[in-house]
Amino acid sequence: MSMRARRFRPVCAAAIILGVMLPARQAVAQISDDAVRIGVLTDMSGAFSDVGGQGSVVAAEMAAQDFGGTVRGKPIRIVSADHQNKPDVGAAIARAWFDRDGIDAVADLPVTSVALAVIEIAREKQRTTLIAGAASSDITGRFCSPYATHWADDSYALAHGTAQAVTKAGGTSWFFITADYAFGHAMERDAAAAVTAAGGTVTGNIRHPLATPDFSSYLLRAQASRAQVIGLASAGRDTVTAIKQAAEFGIADSDKRVAGFLVFISDVHSVGLPVARDLLVATGFYWDQNDAARAFGRRFFASTGRMPTKQQASVYASVTQYLKTVDAAGTDAAGAVNRTLRALPVDYFGHPAVIRADGRVLYDLTLYAVKAPAESKAPYDYYRPLVLIPAAEAFRPEGEGGCALAPNPLTAREIHP
């Protein structure tokens, strides 16, 4: 299938209007406490530590080093903490960071419940949040904030973009194996809508509890269906377990394909190519996608011994853009920074991107197939590109998410200086 890129021009009213609102570049920097302080709040030891964790801290430190270690002559400080995947723990850390430690921005934030708790505290304290981990599209929907930007591939884009691309490529009948909680339900809903809109059909679905150890009955139902594609509307260990057991059932050797809506390269690495081969994966970042990504990936590998996940890459991109914005705005005050952040163009590892008024960062995704072992020429050479998914087709239209910021451009009254 062709990888020929299609250019996109998403409409960003905020970028047009805010272009005249940018603060003038000032001779004297207005940096609070004579330093720019960024906290990486992540999962250091739990289920998401491989996709974020210490690797996210390394990515933030790389961004600070690449920026030269200072902004307008003031040092950049990176700190980190483990939120243990608990909203109360994450909220307590964020509040202490803002009240006691002078943290200007919080980055990473895997796990939606933790991210939403921190977003609300940051709104109260007027501090910036750069969400690279949590995937719920509600972050730029009903819980949107003028101080938050969403850098992760969100649940709508992963489900809708993947299902649409696969259906258009000929996988027109689907069966969903869905985690039985809100996140899984939302992914199945969005994917099913995309399948139907692209002319496909949904032949059935089945739901499983969180942390299911045995997917045999679910996979047998999927195998017995007439579906060409089995969609895994789940995350983390449930997705990994389903992929492993699908290989045991020989699904990769049949006429069916498995599509994982939320899969990281670390997941593929943990199960291995013999198990994951032919799995369909959509992502906005793969370390071998272009020269810019390869350069970052190899430097990250030199520091960590592994290639970066999409989440870790997004920490690097978000912190880099935040530092550029503080420099352009001449201040680390969250209001001015986030007005400017939504107006500046973004270079997302060689892909052009923009930030909408609701905080959604828009960039192209790519649909990949996991390589067979014989195709892989080096460690982490795991993905074969199939088709580009333009940002305008992947992400939810701005007016459909329920964000109060979306219908009209941001104004000075909506973001405090």
Q: For residue 233, give every residue at least 6 positions away whose Cβ sits within 8 Å of its Cβ, in sequence order, or none.
A: 159, 176, 177, 178, 179, 184, 185, 187, 188, 191, 261
Give mean pLDDT, residues 202-218. 95
Whether 156-283+366-394 and 13-153+289-363 are alike in CATH topology: the answer is yes
Q: Which fold has domain 156-283+366-394?
A: Rossmann fold (3.40.50)
Q: Residue 332: name the closest of 24, 32, 19, 27 by CA.
A: 32
Give me the phi and psi of 86, to 5 degrees please.
Answer: -120, 125
Q: For residue 306, give every residue at least 6 positions away whose Cβ sits within 8 Å of its Cβ, in sequence order, or none.
A: 55, 266, 269, 300, 380
Question: Which CATH number is correct for 13-153+289-363, 1.10.10.10, 3.40.50.360, 3.40.50.2300, 3.40.190.10?
Answer: 3.40.50.2300
The model carries a pTM of 0.88
Instruction: Report the pLDDT value the prediction gives residue 408, as an integer from 0 to 100.
Output: 52
Computed over every residue of the chain, the mean pLDDT equals 90
H/E element, 130: strand 128-131
Give the sheet arrangement for strand 173-179, strand by strand: 201-208, 173-179, 229-233, 257-260, 280-283, 365-370, 383-389
- Summarize pLDDT for 334-367 with one digit per residue, the tens: 999 999 999 999 999 998 999 999 999 999 999 9
Q: With a cut of 80, say whether residue 302 has pLDDT above it.
A: yes
- Summarize pLDDT for 157-204 with one digit per residue, the tens: 999 999 999 999 999 999 999 999 888 998 999 999 999 999 999 999
Q: How confident is the model at residue 20 (pLDDT cuts 50, 70, 90)?
A: very low
Give mean pLDDT, residues 255-263. 95
Q: Determine what percent of the chain is predicted with pLDDT higher than 90.
A: 84
Domain ranges of the chain: 13-153+289-363, 156-283+366-394
